[in-house]
C-alpha cells in the first residue's frame, strides 16, 4: 500500500468550496469515486488573474501503470502519450505549469484512491478522476466505443439489435463521467478564468459543465477523431447537446478542413448559426462569445524517435530484421484491430499485386503489425477471423517453403516503441488503408525513422549514409493525407486502387523516392507535436483575451438548451425606478419605440401582429401627456399602421423600417429643416429622395427566378423594397443562391439608387439612404426645430461581406452594396445635397434663422428596439448626443433581450417594456405577464 501523507493544503487554495455545482440531465451522485463534493457558489467567485498554468483534460492520464509483486501500484510517466509530448510546446510566456486531469487505465480500490491521487499530483502533476466501475464500463465501452466512435466514423446502426443504437443508460453514464471530470477540474482550479484544454470525443459535454460552473473559464477542445457530415450527425438523438456543448468552448480544433467544414455545416443546419472568416481565422458568434475554429493536424516528436536509434534494444532488433528480410522489398503496416483501419482491404490489395505480378513473388513481403482491439463486439470478432484466414490463404497460395518465403508476416500483439521503430527503419514503404481515421501518425513516425539521426564524425552509424528515401501509400480518408503531398493516395474501398498504389510505390525510381522523402521530412520536422500545441494554446489565449471583462449570464438548464450569454461589462438591465425619476423631473420628452418584437408581447395566437389592448392603452396615455412626443417604428406597411393605431392621437409613425414617416395630428412638415423629404399620401412623407421605384420591374423577375429554383424560398414585395427569403431552404444551397443573386442584382441594378443588403437568410433591395437611424434624425429635426446631422456614418452601412457559395466559406449576418454611389456620403448628406440644389439659398437661410430661434432639444430620450435594424437607431441617438440641443439630455437606449447590442441597457422581453412604459404614465397592467 502507498504511504499516507494527506495534503489538505491544496483544498484551501482552490475554488472547490466556493462554487455550487448545478445539475444536468444524467447527473447523479455516487458515480465519481473519491470526489469531494462541497457546496459551491459561483457568485462569490470574482477571481480573474491568470493562474499561469493550463489544465489538460483527457480520458487517460499520460501514465503507465502496473502492480508490483508486493501488490503496490507503480507509475511511470508515459513520454509517448500525445498529451505528454504536447507539454514541450506549451508557451512559457503564458504558462509556467501543466496540470493533467484524466482517468487511470486500472481500477483502484476506494481506500487507496486518496493516497494515489496525492502521490500522482506530487510526482507527475497528474490528478486522477475515479469512476464507478459500472459508470466507467457504460461510459467508455458503451457510449464512447459503441456509439460515438462508429457515428464519427460514418457508421449508422442498421439492425434493431445493433449495439450502435442509441442507449439512454450509456448516454447518462457519459454525462456522469464528464461531470466527474468537471468536478475534478473545479476542485483543482485556482481562478475562475483557468485555461483548460480538453481532448477528444470522450469529453464532449465537459465544456458545458465547466461553463456552467465558471462563466469565464477559457476552454478549448481538440477532436482527434473525424467529424461526420451533417447527414450522418443529424441522426444522433443527442445532436444538439453535443453541438451546444462544443460551442460552449472558446476554441474548437480539428485535424483537417473537411472535419471543420462538417462541424460548421451542422451548426448551420441544426442551430442556424453561420460562421465568419477574417484574416485566415474562422469564428462563430455564439450568444456574444466568439468561438474560434482551429484547423491544424497534430504531429510527432522527432527527437524521441531519433534518440531511440542509440538504444541497444533498437540496434539489436533492427539488425535482426535486416538479416531476416535481406534482399526483400518490405511493405509495412501498423494498425489497431479495428473495422475502420482497413487491414482486410490492405491484405486483399496485396494479394492482388502478387496475383497480377508474379515477378514480385519471393521478393516482396508485407509486415503487418496489428495491435489488440480497444473494444469488443461481433464486428471485431468477424473481422479478426476474416483477416486471420486471409493471411493464411495468401501465405499458402504464394509462399515458398523451400526458400522460406512468407509473403505476409502478421504480428498480432503489442509492439514496443523500439521494435516499431526497427520495422519502420527497414521498410521501403508504409501502407495505410484506413477507411476513416482522425489523424493516424504512423506515416509521420515512419518518415522520422527512415530519416534517422545524423551520425557525428567517428561515431558508429546505425543507418545508411547518404540521402534517405521512403514511400507512403496513404488512404485519402485519413487526417494526415492532406499534409503528405508526396504520398500515393488511394481509395481503400477499391482493391484495384490499393493494389495500383502499392505497385507504383515499389516501382518508383530511387531519385523520386528521395525527393518525396525530403519533402515529407521538412514538413514532419517542422510541424511537430510541440509546434501544434504551441499554436493551439496561443490561439486559445488570443480568442479569450477579453474574458475578464465579460459580463455573463447562464440561460437554460439541460445540455440541449444551456448557453452562456456574454455581454459587455457596462451592459446592464434598465432600472425602472431610475428611468421613472428622470421622466418625472424632465420637461421635454421623446420616445422612439420599435413595435415589432418590442411591444408585441407574445400573447398572439393568430398570424396578425395587431396591437393588444394593453399596448394601445399605454400609447394613448403616453401621447396624452403634453410634454411627451412618441414615435413608433415598424417594418409593416403604412396602411396597416394607420389602421392599427388610429385610436392613438398625436402618435408619429415610421413605416417600412424608415422609408415612410408621418407626424402626429396637427403637426406639419417643415421641409427646410429636413430637405429632400417627398410627400407620399395622407400626410406621409418618404425618406427617399425622388423615389423612383422603376427598378422593381427589373428586380422582381430576377427574384421570381431564384424563388422557383430554390425550394423553400419566398418573396415579400413591400412598397419601398423587395425581399427574397431563404430561411426555409437548404442552408447551403440557399447561401449559394444568395451569393449568385447578389452578384446578379449588382450587375443589373448598378445604375439604380438602391442598396442590396444580404442579411440573415434574406436578400433585400431597398432605396439608398433608408434606415431607422435616418428616420430618427429626421423626426428629431421636425419635432424640435433643428436640422438633422449633415454627415452621418452609420456603422451598419459598412460592407460586411456576402453570403458564401459554400458552407465552408464566410456567411456573415449582413452585407451591403450601395448602387450608383459608392462613396461615404450615401446617407443624409446625399439627401441634403440633392435637396439644396433644388431649394436654393432661400431654404438654407430659413433653416439658419429657425435654428437660431430654436430652443433646446429634449431632456429625456427613451429609445427601445429588439433587432438588428434598431441598432441603427441606437447609433444615431449616440451620435446626436454631441449636438448642442442634446448635450444635456438624459438618453436611455435599450434593447430587448440579453444580447450584444450598441445599447447600454436591456429589458428581458416585451412584457417588461410595457410595464416600464405603463409605470411612467401611472397605469397598472395586472393581466400582462412580465
Radius of gyration of the chain (CA): 34
Distance separating alpha carbons of residues 118 and 128, to the nearest angstrom: 9
254-287 tens-digit pLDDT: 999 999 999 999 998 898 888 988 888 999 989 8
* pLDDT of 680 higher than 80: no
Residue 706 is part of a domain; what is its CATH number? 3.90.1070.10
CB count, 10 Å around CB of 134? 13
732 and 657 fall within a common domain: no
> What is the pTM (predicted TM-score) of this model?
0.76
Residue 104 lies in a domain: yes
359 and 483 fall within a common domain: yes
Distance separating alpha carbons of residues 344 and 347, to the nearest angstrom: 5
Residue 479 lies in a domain: yes
- Decide if 794 contacts 773 (C-beta within 8 A): yes
Across 793-899, the runs of DSSP E, i.e. the strands, are 815-818, 860-865, 890-896
700 and 646 fall within a common domain: no
279 and 338 fall within a common domain: no
112: which 3 cell numbers? 487507496
- Decide if 763 contacts 756 (C-beta within 8 A): yes
Residue 618 DSSP SS3: helix
896 and 860 fall within a common domain: yes
707 and 658 fall within a common domain: no
Beta-strand pair 651-655/660-662: antiparallel
476 and 442 fall within a common domain: yes
601 and 623 fall within a common domain: yes
Q: What is the mean pLDDT of residues 78-89?
A: 93
* pLDDT of 222 higher than 50: yes
Per-residue pLDDT, 908: 86
* pLDDT of 586 higher than 50: yes
Per-residue pLDDT, 32: 75
Residue 207 is part of a domain; what is its CATH number? 3.40.50.2000
Per-residue pLDDT, 455: 65
Q: How confident is the model at residue 837 (pLDDT cuts 50, 70, 90)?
A: very low
Angle at 269 between CA 764 and CA 339, to 5 degrees: 155
Residues of the chain with pLDDT > 90, as a percent, come to: 56
Q: Which of 768, 784, 805 is the last residue of a domain?
A: 768
Distance separating alpha carbons of residues 435 and 343, to the nearest angstrom: 9
Residue 827 lies in a domain: no
* pLDDT of 309 higher than 80: yes
Residue 125 lies in a domain: yes
> Residue 311's domain spans which residues?
302-453+465-527
- Higher-confidence residue: 146 or 164? 146
Q: What is the mean pLDDT of residues 833-844?
A: 40
496 and 577 fall within a common domain: no
353 and 443 fall within a common domain: yes
Residue 14 lies in a domain: no
**Continuous H helices in 587-694:** 613-624, 638-644
- Decide if 807 contacts 284 (C-beta within 8 A): no
Residues of the chain with pLDDT > 70, as a percent, come to: 82
Beta-strand pair 195-199/53-60: parallel
Residue 23 lies in a domain: no
Q: What is the mean pLDDT of residues 719-743?
A: 89
Number of domains in the chain: 4
DSSP annotation string for 252-298: EEESSHHHHHHHHHHHHHHH---EEEETTEEEEEETTEEEEEEE---
Beta-strand pair 722-725/714-717: antiparallel
Phi-psi region of 796 (alpha: psi -120 to 50; beta: other; left: phi over 0): alpha
144: which 3 cell numbers? 464512447
Residue 628 is part of a domain; what is its CATH number? 3.40.50.1000
Residue 128 DSSP SS3: strand
Per-residue pLDDT, 707: 93
CB count, 10 Å around CB of 48? 12
Residue 917 lies in a domain: yes
Q: Which of 768, 788, 818 is the last residue of a domain?
A: 768
Q: Which of 718, 733, 768 is the last residue of a domain?
A: 768
Residue 675 DSSP SS3: coil
Residue 550 lies in a domain: no
180 and 228 fall within a common domain: yes
219 and 318 fall within a common domain: no
Amino acid at each position: 500500500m502507498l504511504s499516507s501523507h494527506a495534503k489538505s493544503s491544496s483544498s484551501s487554495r482552490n475554488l472547490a468550496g466556493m462554487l455550487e455545482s448545478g445539475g444536468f440531465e444524467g447527473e447523479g451522485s455516487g458515480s465519481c469515486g473519491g470526489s469531494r463534493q462541497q457546496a459551491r457558489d459561483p457568485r462569490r467567485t470574482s477571481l480573474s488573474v491568470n493562474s499561469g498554468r493550463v489544465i489538460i483534460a483527457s480520458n487517460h492520464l499520460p501514465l503507465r501503470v502496473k502492480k508490483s509483486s508486493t501488490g503496490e501500484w507503480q507509475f511511470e510517466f508515459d513520454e509517448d502519450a500525445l498529451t505528454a509530448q504536447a507539454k514541450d510546446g506549451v508557451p512559457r510566456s503564458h504558462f509556467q505549469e501543466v496540470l493533467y486531469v484524466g482517468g487511470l487505465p486500472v481500477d483502484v480500490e476506494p481506500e487507496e484512491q486518496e493516497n494515489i491521487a496525492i502521490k500522482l499530483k506530487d510526482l507527475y502533476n497528474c490528478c486522477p478522476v475515479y469512476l464507478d466501475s459500472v459508470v466507467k464500463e457504460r461510459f467508455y465501452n458503451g457510449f464512447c466505443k459503441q456509439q460515438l466512435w462508429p457515428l464519427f466514423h460514418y457508421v449508422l446502426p442498421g439492425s434493431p439489435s445493433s449495439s450502435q443504437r442509441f442507449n439512454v443508460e450509456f448516454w447518462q453514464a457519459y454525462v456522469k463521467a464528464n461531470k466527474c471530470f468537471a468536478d475534478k477540474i473545479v476542485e483543482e482550479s485556482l481562478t475562475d478564468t483557468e485555461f483548460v484544454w480538453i481532448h477528444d470525443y470522450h469529453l464532449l459535454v465537459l465544456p458545458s459543465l465547466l461553463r456552467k460552473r465558471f462563466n469565464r473559464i477559457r476552454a478549448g477542445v481538440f477532436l482527434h477523431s473525424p467529424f461526420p457530415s451533417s447527414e450522418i450527425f443529424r441522426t444522433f438523438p443527442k445532436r444538439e447537446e453535443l453541438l451546444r456543448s462544443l460551442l460552449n468552448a472558446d476554441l474548437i480544433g480539428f485535424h483537417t478542413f473537411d472535419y471543420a467544414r462538417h462541424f460548421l455545416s451542422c451548426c448551420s443546419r441544426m442551430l442556424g448559426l453561420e460562421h465568419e472568416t477574417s484574416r485566415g481565422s474562422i469564428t462563430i458568434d455564439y450568444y456574444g462569445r466568439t468561438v474560434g475554429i482551429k484547423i491544424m493536424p497534430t504531429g510527432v516528436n522527432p527527437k524521441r524517435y531519433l534518440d531511440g536509434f542509440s538504444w541497444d534494444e533498437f540496434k539489436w532488433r533492427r539488425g535482426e530484421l535486416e538479416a531476416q528480410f535481406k534482399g526483400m522489398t518490405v511493405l509495412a503496416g501498423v494498425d489497431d484491430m479495428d473495422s475502420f483501419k482497413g487491414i482486410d482491404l490492405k491484405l486483399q490489395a496485396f494479394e492482388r499485386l502478387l496475383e497480377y505480378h508474379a515477378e514480385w513473388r519471393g521478393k516482396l513481403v508485407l509486415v503487418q503489425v496489428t495491435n489488440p482491439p480497444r473494444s469488443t463486439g461481433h464486428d471485431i470478432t468477424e473481422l479478426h477471423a476474416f483477416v486471420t484466414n486471409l493471411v493464411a490463404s495468401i501465405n499458402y497460395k504464394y509462399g515458398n517453403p523451400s526458400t522460406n518465403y512468407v509473403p505476409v508476416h502478421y504480428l498480432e500483439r503489442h509492439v514496443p516503441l523500439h521494435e516499431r521503430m526497427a520495422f519502420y527503419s527497414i521498410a521501403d514503404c508504409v501502407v495505410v488503408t484506413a477507411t476513416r481515421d482522425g489523424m493516424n501518425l504512423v506515416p509521420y513516425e515512419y518518415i522520422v525513422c527512415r530519416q534517422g539521426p545524423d551520425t557525428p564524425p567517428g561515431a558508429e552509424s546505425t543507418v545508411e549514409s547518404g540521402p534517405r528515401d521512403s514511400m507512403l501509400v496513404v488512404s485519402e480518408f485519413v487526417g494526415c493525407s492532406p499534409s503528405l503531398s508526396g504520398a500515393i493516395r488511394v481509395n481503400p474501398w477499391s482493391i484495384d486502387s490499393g493494389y495500383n498504389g502499392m505497385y507504383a510505390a515499389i516501382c518508383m525510381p530511387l531519385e523520386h523516392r528521395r525527393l518525396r522523402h525530403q519533402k515529407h521530412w521538412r514538413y514532419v520536422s517542422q510541424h511537430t507535436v510541440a509546434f501544434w500545441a504551441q499554436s493551439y494554446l496561443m490561439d486559445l489565449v488570443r480568442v479569450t483575451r477579453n474574458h475578464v471583462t465579460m459580463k455573463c449570464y447562464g440561460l437554460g438548464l439541460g445540455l440541449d438548451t444551456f448557453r452562456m450569454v456574454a455581454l459587455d461589462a457596462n451592459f446592464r438591465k434598465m432600472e425602472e425606478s431610475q428611468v421613472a425619476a428622470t421622466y418625472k423631473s424632465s420637461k421635454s420628452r421623446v420616445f422612439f419605440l420599435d413595435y415589432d418584437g418590442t411591444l408585441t408581447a407574445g400573447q398572439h395566437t393568430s398570424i396578425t401582429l395587431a396591437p393588444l389592448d394593453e399596448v394601445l392603452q399605454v400609447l394613448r396615455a403616453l401621447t396624452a401627456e403634453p410634454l411627451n412626443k412618441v414615435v413608433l417604428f415598424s417594418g409593416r406597411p403604412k396602411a396597416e399602421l394607420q389602421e392599427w393605431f388610429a385610436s392613438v392621437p398625436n402618435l408619429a409613425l415610421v413605416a417600412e423600417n424608415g422609408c415612410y414617416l408621418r407626424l402626429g395630428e396637427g403637426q406639419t412638415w417643415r421641409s427646410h429643416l429636413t430637405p429632400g423629404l417627398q410627400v407620399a399620401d395622407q400626410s406621409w412623407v418618404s425618406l427617399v429622395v425622388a423615389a423612383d421605384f422603376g427598378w422593381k420591374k427589373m428586380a422582381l423577375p430576377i427574384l421570381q427566378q431564384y424563388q422557383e429554383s430554390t425550394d423553400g424560398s419566398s418573396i415579400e414585395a413591400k412598397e419601398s423594397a423587395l425581399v427574397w427569403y431563404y430561411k426555409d431552404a437548404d442552408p447551403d444551397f440557399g447561401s449559394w443562391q444568395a451569393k449568385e443573386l447578389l452578384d446578379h442584382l449588382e450587375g443589373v441594378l448598378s445604375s439604380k439608387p438602391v442598396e442590396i443588403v444580404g442579411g440573415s437568410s434574406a436578400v433585400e433591395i431597398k432605396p439608398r439612404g433608408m434606415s431607422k437611424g435616418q428616420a430618427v434624425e429626421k423626426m428629431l429635426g421636425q419635432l424640435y426645430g433643428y436640422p438633422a446631422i449633415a454627415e452621418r456614418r452609420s456603422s451598419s452601412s459598412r460592407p460586411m461581406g456576402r453570403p458564401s457559395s459554400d458552407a465552408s466559406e464566410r456567411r456573415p449576418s449582413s452585407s451591403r452594396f450601395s448602387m450608383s454611389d459608392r462613396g461615404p456620403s450615401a446617407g443624409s448628406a446625399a439627401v441634403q445635397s440633392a435637396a439644396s440644389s433644388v431649394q436654393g439659398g432661400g431654404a438654407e437661410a430659413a433653416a439658419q434663422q429657425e435654428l437660431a430661434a430654436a430652443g433646446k432639444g429634449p431632456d429625456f430620450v427613451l429609445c427601445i428596439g429588439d433587432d438588428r435594424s434598431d441598432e441603427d437607431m441606437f447609433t444615431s441617438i449616440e451620435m446626436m448626443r454631441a449636438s448642442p440641443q442634446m448635450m444635456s439630455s438624459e438618453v436611455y437606449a435599450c434593447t430587448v433581450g440579453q444580447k450584444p447590442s450598441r445599447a447600454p441597457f436591456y429589458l428581458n422581453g416585451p412584457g417588461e417594456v410595457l410595464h416600464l412604459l405603463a409605470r411612467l404614465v401611472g397605469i397598472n397592467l395586472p393581466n400582462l405577464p412580465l
